[in-house]
Structure 1
Amino acid sequence: METVNCYHCGDDCGAAPIIFDEKEFCCNGCKTVYEIFDTNDLSYYYDLQSAAGATPKTSEGKYDYLETEAIIERLTEFSDTELQIINLYIPHIHCSSCIWVLENLNKLNPAISLSQVDFPKKSVRVTYNPSKIPLKQLVILLSKIGYEPYISLDDFDNKKKDIDRNLIYKLAVAGFAFGNVMFLSFPDYFDMSLSRTSGGEFWLNQYETLFRWMMFAFSLPVVFYAGRDYFISAYKGLRSKLLNIDVPIALGILVLFLRSTVEIIFDWGSGFFDSLTGLVFFLLLGKFFQQKTYDFLSFERDYKAYFPIAITRITAEGKEITTQLHEIERGDRLLIRNEELIPVDGIMINGTARIDYSFVTGESEPISKQSGDKVYAGGKQLQGAIEMEALKSVSQSYLTQLWGNSVFQNNTQSKFRTLTDSIGRRFTIAVLSIAFISTAFWLYLDPSKALNVFTAVLIIACPCAIALAAPFTLGNLLRIFGRKKFYLKDTQTIEQLALIDTAIFDKTGTITTSQKSMATYEGMPLTAQEESLLKNTLRASNHPLSRTLYNMLAEQDIYTLDEYEEHLGKGLEGTKDNDHMKIGSMDFVGNRQPKDALNTSVHISSNDSYRGKYVFYNHYREGVSELFQGMSGFLDLALLSGDNEGEKERLQQLLPQNTPLHFNQKPESKLHFIKSLQEKGKKVLMLGDGLNDAGALAQADVGIAISENVNIFSPACDGILDASKFQQLYQYILASQKAMKIVKLCFILSLLYNAIGLYFAVTGQLRPVVAAILMPLSSISVVAFATGMTNILGRKLR
């Protein structure tokens, strides 16, 4: 009788399948999911991969606890009356069809505005309107379409997650079976010597059959439990008409098991149970090693690569002190200036907030908040300074996640990732071809060697080492850079940095330091009321010149402004009662005096009356001249500044001859300048302070923000460089280029290993168990080479 498989999940429909729309389903649940997809124009799901779904499982009342506000608050990463964001773990995610349907949840319910799948972590990040689809209904919807999430409140208590013990159990089973099969194989190993000694025949004749069936018994849990993931992966690949790398491995395990079983049934020999159990054991050992190494790199990335960002904390005495993020505790009073990122959930105390949550939600419409309202980590304050009380300590792993939000991901494909994928796809076809051709040859020449050759080729030729080269090399360098206070978003940024041929620098706050800059006042004396308004207006700004001037002025009573606005690239204006003040460029404040381009100046007007200016004497960062001189030999350099030409002569002496200097640049001018270079085929690196340069940093192939322990963090940038490491910038670029050479060397090393291994396998000189030992050793050797070389590279960085 022909088996009928379910159109949705692929399971056997049994004797009475449910027929709907000329398709067979195993249950009403699968039929309902099909109806949902078909009604909402999501039937393309089945075109991506046939029978990719899972039978939906729902039970009445299972998710009633998701109606409790306290639990919802713990589970969601962002929660407001009209918008919530939650990360859900979906165990069933396994293929492109899953990704496609989960990223199209908005078609099933318009209250879901965005859903993004993280395939390696099997999670989906959903942005939705809780007033139209509560969390409980969202989870039920996912369950109904066969993607029931696994929810554990422990995952949200900042506890250390347990490692995947399933792999350890499988490794233990395979190791136990391998050891026992090797022991039981001793009579066969010493067949000749035992037969020549007294008692040898006893072993061979009395217990040989028993030992062989015991080896068969030990192999069953190895094949059907420890090695089942290879069969599942191979089956799903073949069902999707794809040849993944697990196909030859599963085929090798199956051939060894069937051939060995046939041999003991017909008493042809003892089979290859030692090779079979050894193969699975060493495969799992390699996988375990890989998992542990990835976990180590992930730990380094998430918890030790702290951003060099600080926040202003207000003490009990009312003093404002700079505090590192990881030192913030619940109950601390924080000052959030204009354009600063809110680092932790809290309650508004003073000020009026307009918060941009686009870094978290993707929605750019600012949200207004008043005193007493709750504000969430990841929002950016857009209107003056506010004071808030922290409700929890800062989770910098959350900031890392925010930084990696796919909203800000560059869509440029990594050529090395593409190369790795390309090699992996072609490798399987090549391995299968070599295996069948060499087996056919040996069947003709010497049939006794054919099986050994077939399985040895399938086992020894593995692209695992090739696939590991790039992630381990670049992942380790990412960790090393973090220790050297150079924090990059991801490994793709290293690849882009290695290709840079043009470097663009901002001036103020980038090659100059606000910590040593000085200013003198020229103009009409300010009244006490004007000095107080000036101080409080500067207090809300994060611009380097504003911070320098704010720290220089005498202490004043701190109060909340009635109105505040910052015009990027122009200046600030603040209002208190009937007094209004403008601070910024000459044109912005309405100065009618002749322009003075000799120095960087900040002009002041009070109630539309020009009062004077603060003239700044910039202090350039240590090593600026040496850095530019070193980079000029290999890269095209340029400087873009929003200031006037007052520093032009000094910069010409400081920087290499003929370095292009562009002044009076607006934020949009910087962006267009970089775009014009990219249109000419240039790979552009942009360095700025992260404030006025946000657009330029996002437009550049690599955007690096310079940080002086202030909370001007833009997730749109690709990296953050601690200001103390500014002069080492070129060393980091050279290290990135050397890392890509290490990746290529790893490719060559892996291909060389496979070529040598295939030679011995095809010529019949390699036993399957030896191939099984060598395969994980090849992966370990490539990982060791990549890690060792990057560590040597890291030690050379100052």
Structure 2
Amino acid sequence: MQICYHCNEPVLTGDEFTTIIGDQAQLMCCPGCQAVSQAIMDSGLESYYQYRSEPGSRQTALIPAELAQYSAYDLPEVQQDLIYSLDGTNTISVSIEGITCAACAWLIEHKLKQLNGIISISVNSTTQRALVSWNEQSVKLSEILAEISRIGYQAAPFQIDEQEKKSKHESRKFLLRLGLAGFATMQVMMFALALYSDYFIFEDTQMRDYFRWVSMTLAAPVVFYSAQPFYFSAIRSLLSGKLNMDLSVSLAIVGAYIASCIATINGNGEVYFESVSMFTFFLLLGRYFEQKAKQTASVSSSNLHKLVPLTANLNIDDEITEVPAKRLKLNDIILIKPGDVVAADGIILKGKSGLNESMLTGEQMPLIKHSGDLVFAGTINVDQPLSVKVTALGQDQLVAEIIRLQEVASNTKPAIATMVDKFARYFSASILGIAVATYFIWLFIAPEDAFWVTLSVLVATCPCALALATPTAITCSTAIFTKLGIITRRAGVFEKLPLIEHVVFDKTGTLTCGAISINKVVLTDQQNKDTVLAYAAALETGSLHPIANAFTPFLQRKIVATQIEHHVGLGISGSIDNQSVKIGNAEFIGLDASQCSGKLLWLSMDGIVVACFELQDALRPDSLTTIKQLQENGIEVSIASGDSDSHVKAIAKQLNVANCHGKLSPKDKLDLINKLQQTQHVAMFGDGVNDAPVLAGANLSVAMGSGSAIAKNSADLILLGDQLTKFNQAIKVSKLTNKIIKQNLIWAFAYNAIILPLAVTGHVVPYIAAIGMSISSIIVVSNSLRLLRIKV
């Protein structure tokens, strides 16, 4: 199969869309990719295709004319919170979606530089942000954003949230501590080289002492300012009755500095000012890389806020007014034009259109929505205008909920992390004990070496790498899950996924789309079609089962059911106009179930069957692919459903699943899961509400999570885009995550096992110990960052 030259997706349209690149007609998969590639060529930027290391983003979401309308960003009330102006020059930070490699950054920079009025443009391909400065008299912000969109990237002004403001403030303070420690280390090392040469011992004791006093002065800011985070952490640990790795760090820094000060004042003994400065600098450097790893991993969630537009088209008495989105109130009516980004969560009142929800699910293909369906802030309207009533704003929107869930997932510790933290506390206590023993032993063997050997033990064996081994890997993996549209709600997901040996799928709404419709109505008595449909709709009112949605359009106000009773796995009974009415499967109605198809639903009045409804529910497009991949990976698959055996077997046959179980109540499903768990680790797929007991009982639970129900789901994993194939990708990511964690732990243990005997026996001087400890931490962090480069 031929692939698109721009995005590497399969070309299913033949040679309908082509672009001349390098004197050859190159195939494109869609008009969006064709338009973008042509814009790149028209700008004389063909080098982009020569030097790129990753394919471009697929452009199915682009709406050529409408998407280029960024005029709202030219409004003064919108710009006041976004733009920094000085002497006619405007500067703004722009988030750019779709950057895949450094060539993308080069392409955007060179394209914008062709605009008259652009003063400077700098694109960061890691954070997917650009800093743009321009002359406000020569070019407008809307023109800049539109130009970026022409070459296939979605751009919007970046709005920093309060959490990121705090993070940036902390980063600046951290860099100041690191810079001060680095500067002091360089200065003190210059004096240390002279002191190490022993030149001043015999020639000029006064000069030696002078160098020591200067070194003490230069090291003071490092000890009293740069190293403060370690002291506070150690104190908090002691106050809580625990020991952490910062205690040994603090003792090493303070002890070495005090001993060196005493030696300097007395004019005899050894000084360790260079070791103190260097140790603090390298330890801070390791922490800096840890901090950057977390920021890199969480940048996708930080950028989610910028996907929500700053303006909205407010509809007041059929008059459309463009207003800042932050002025919207609940129940306001807004117009979403084709190409517009939805400004707030809401419900469609009028219209039918496709919406691109890739920012939530990672899936670029539009999802068709109509009156009564929910839409979410940050998604893109593709086809037709929609009238939407606002139902959620600010922190109540789905985007905010996803960010909170990711934050929770990043901060929850799996069992292995808890175990490692506990071991690190015992390890720190052991190291302190070993350090004390080392000091007294060396005090007997060689008193002049006792202190620096003990200092080397404290420095070299700091369990930083051990403490970083798990959290950095989990943070990176959580970021990948969010990019895939997978939300983790509980700790231990990355441990459980690789162990799964059997996956049990609910049928309706999981393997099938859950959008059940009535294909045919057969009347078996003298009732008319409208009446039986209205009776069925009245009984199904309030039911959470997907079948109930098929009857919702046939509700009539004058027909109301009372005494409604739900019979799990069978049907619903009630009373309408003093008649006993039932709707359900053949067994529930009193028919011979063996002669009835599972796709049939029956209605009876006072014991007389009056109608038969033939239902249809299409399989999800990726059901077969997902199950096939699971089976190829040695994972068994079963189907457990409350529907009739015949219907479940028909679905199982289509999906090549041998193990299928029908007519199961929630308790029956739970019993099935418990039975399988006696020999296997079991994952259960369900809707997260009706299957709550089963999901709670499985080793791992997965919910098909359309946005509105996300807060109600109690599953371990939620697939936002309802794409089953994401589960296979989640398994792949989790297996690699566990592999990375094991590598990190092996390295951390191996390093300490090697360095400890060397330090105790006096073969590692303090500054070498500081370098070794820091390199060990950096290796662990760098290894974890490899997760961000995997292809899923």
Provide TM-score, normalisation by structure 1.
0.60
Shift in alpha-carbon separation, 1:468–1:654, aligned structure 2, 3 A? same
Shift in alpha-carbon separation, 1:497–1:682, aligned structure 2, 3 A? same
Shift in alpha-carbon separation, 1:581–1:723, aligned structure 2, 3 A? farther
Determine the C-alpha separation between the residues in 2 that align with 1:396 and 1:507.
26
**1:339: which partner in 2?**
none
Give 1:642 shift.
Answer: 0.5
Shift in alpha-carbon separation, 1:396–1:574, aligned structure 2, 3 A? farther
2:387 is the alignment partner of 1:390: no
Give 1:727 shift.
Answer: 3.6
Shift in alpha-carbon separation, 1:431–1:739, aligned structure 2, 3 A? same
**2:547: which partner in 1?**
545
**2:194: which partner in 1?**
190
SS state at 1:509 partner: helix
SS state at 1:421 partner: helix
Count of aligned positions: 566
Does the 8 Å CA contact 1:402/1:715 hold for their aligned counterparts?
no
Structure 1 stretches of 5 or more lacking a match?
A: 1-155, 308-314, 319-325, 335-343, 350-386
Determine the C-alpha separation between the residues in 2 that align with 1:454 and 1:399.
50
Shift in alpha-carbon separation, 1:727–1:613, aligned structure 2, 3 A? farther
Determine the C-alpha separation between the residues in 2 that align with 1:754 and 1:736.
27
Mean alpha-carbon deviation: is it higher for 695-704 or for 229-238? Answer: 229-238
**Residue identity (%):** 27
Which of 711, 714, 721 matches 2:712?
Answer: 714
SS state at 2:284 partner: helix
Shift in alpha-carbon separation, 1:389–1:630, aligned structure 2, 3 A? closer
Which of 781, 788, 792 matches 1:791?
Answer: 788
SS state at 1:510 partner: helix
Amino acid corresponding to residue 547 of structure 2 in structure 1? L
Determine the C-alpha separation between the residues in 2 that align with 1:712 and 1:579.
39
Once the two structures are superposed, the pairs formed by residues 97-116 of structure 1 within 5 Å of their partners are none
Does the 8 Å CA contact 2:686/2:702 hold for their aligned counterparts?
yes
**2:685: which partner in 1?**
687
Mean alpha-carbon deviation: is it higher for 266-275 or for 501-510? Answer: 266-275
Mean alpha-carbon deviation: is it higher for 740-749 or for 171-180? Answer: 171-180
Determine the C-alpha separation between the residues in 1 that align with 2:597 and 2:169.
68
SS state at 2:723 partner: helix
Does the 8 Å CA contact 2:465/2:748 hold for their aligned counterparts?
yes
Give 1:508 shift.
Answer: 1.6
Does the 8 Å CA contact 2:439/2:453 hold for their aligned counterparts?
yes
Once the two structures are superposed, the pairs formed by residues 170-185 of structure 1 within 5 Å of their partners are 172-173=176-177, 175-176=179-180, 179-180=183-184, 182-183=186-187
SS state at 1:163 partner: helix
Mean alpha-carbon deviation: is it higher for 566-575 or for 643-652? Answer: 566-575
Amino acid corresponding to residue 778 of structure 1 in structure 2? S
2:401 is the alignment partner of 1:399: yes
Shift in alpha-carbon separation, 1:728–1:317, aligned structure 2, 3 A? farther
Give 1:268 shift.
Answer: 1.9
Does the 8 Å CA contact 1:519/1:615 hold for their aligned counterparts?
yes
**2:772: which partner in 1?**
774
SS state at 1:268 partner: coil
Does the 8 Å CA contact 2:501/2:681 hold for their aligned counterparts?
yes
Once the two structures are superposed, the pairs formed by residues 54-453 of structure 1 within 5 Å of their partners are 160-163=164-167, 165=169, 168-169=172-173, 172-173=176-177, 175-176=179-180, 179-180=183-184, 182-183=186-187, 186-190=190-194, 208-235=208-235, 237-238=237-238, 242-268=242-268, 271-298=271-298, 300=300, 304=304, 330-332=330-332, 390=391, 392-393=393-394, 394-396=396-398, 399-400=401-402, 414-453=414-453
SS state at 2:610 partner: strand
Determine the C-alpha separation between the residues in 1 that align with 2:498 and 2:679.
15
Shift in alpha-carbon separation, 1:598–1:608, aligned structure 2, 3 A? closer
Amino acid corresponding to residue 549 of structure 2 in structure 1? R
SS state at 2:603 partner: strand
**1:602: which partner in 2?**
601
SS state at 1:777 partner: helix
Which of 744, 747, 750 matches 1:749?
Answer: 747
Give 1:623 shift.
Answer: 4.8
Determine the C-alpha separation between the residues in 2 that align with 1:671 and 1:534.
30
2:622 is the alignment partner of 1:612: no
Shift in alpha-carbon separation, 1:450–1:542, aligned structure 2, 3 A? same
SS state at 1:619 partner: coil
Shift in alpha-carbon separation, 1:173–1:713, aligned structure 2, 3 A? closer
Once the two structures are superposed, the pairs formed by residues 415-494 of structure 1 within 5 Å of their partners are 415-494=415-494
Structure 2 stretches of 5 or more lacking a match?
A: 1-159, 308-314, 319-325, 335-343, 350-387
Amino acid corresponding to residue 673 of structure 2 in structure 1? I
Does the 8 Å CA contact 1:694/1:714 hold for their aligned counterparts?
no
Shift in alpha-carbon separation, 1:774–1:388, aligned structure 2, 3 A? same
Determine the C-alpha separation between the residues in 2 that align with 1:603 and 1:655.
27
User: CA RMSD for the aligned pairs?
Assistant: 4.8
Shift in alpha-carbon separation, 1:532–1:750, aligned structure 2, 3 A? same
Shift in alpha-carbon separation, 1:755–1:397, aligned structure 2, 3 A? farther
Give 1:696 shift.
Answer: 1.0
Shift in alpha-carbon separation, 1:723–1:259, aligned structure 2, 3 A? closer
Determine the C-alpha separation between the residues in 1 that align with 2:293 and 2:522.
61
Determine the C-alpha separation between the residues in 2 that align with 1:571 and 1:542.
12
Shift in alpha-carbon separation, 1:596–1:284, aligned structure 2, 3 A? same
Shift in alpha-carbon separation, 1:332–1:638, aligned structure 2, 3 A? farther
Determine the C-alpha separation between the residues in 1 that align with 2:232 and 2:281.
17
Give 1:640 shift.
Answer: 1.1
Determine the C-alpha separation between the residues in 1 that align with 2:719 and 2:656.
23
Does the 8 Å CA contact 1:452/1:768 hold for their aligned counterparts?
yes
SS state at 2:215 partner: helix
Determine the C-alpha separation between the residues in 2 that align with 1:505 and 1:227.
54
Which of 692, 696, 699 matches 1:698?
Answer: 696
Amino acid corresponding to residue 753 of structure 1 in structure 2? Y
Amino acid corresponding to residue 717 of structure 1 in structure 2? A
Shift in alpha-carbon separation, 1:704–1:681, aligned structure 2, 3 A? same
Does the 8 Å CA contact 1:698/1:717 hold for their aligned counterparts?
yes
Mean alpha-carbon deviation: is it higher for 171-180 or for 450-459? Answer: 171-180
Shift in alpha-carbon separation, 1:690–1:715, aligned structure 2, 3 A? closer
Give 1:573 shift.
Answer: 7.2
Provide TM-score, normalisation by structure 2.
0.60
**1:668: which partner in 2?**
667
Give 1:760 shift.
Answer: 4.4
Shift in alpha-carbon separation, 1:185–1:400, aligned structure 2, 3 A? closer
Determine the C-alpha separation between the residues in 2 that align with 1:559 and 1:345.
33
**2:65: which partner in 1?**
none
Determine the C-alpha separation between the residues in 2 that align with 1:484 and 1:306.
18
Determine the C-alpha separation between the residues in 2 that align with 1:269 and 1:475.
47
1:336-364 Cα deviation digits (max 9, x unpaired): xxxxxxxx9999x9xxxxxxxxxxxxxxx
Give 1:694 shift.
Answer: 2.1
**2:96: which partner in 1?**
none
Amino acid corresponding to residue 702 of structure 1 in structure 2? L
1:210-262 Cα deviation digits (max 9, x unpaired): 44334323434433343344344434545665432222212211221122011
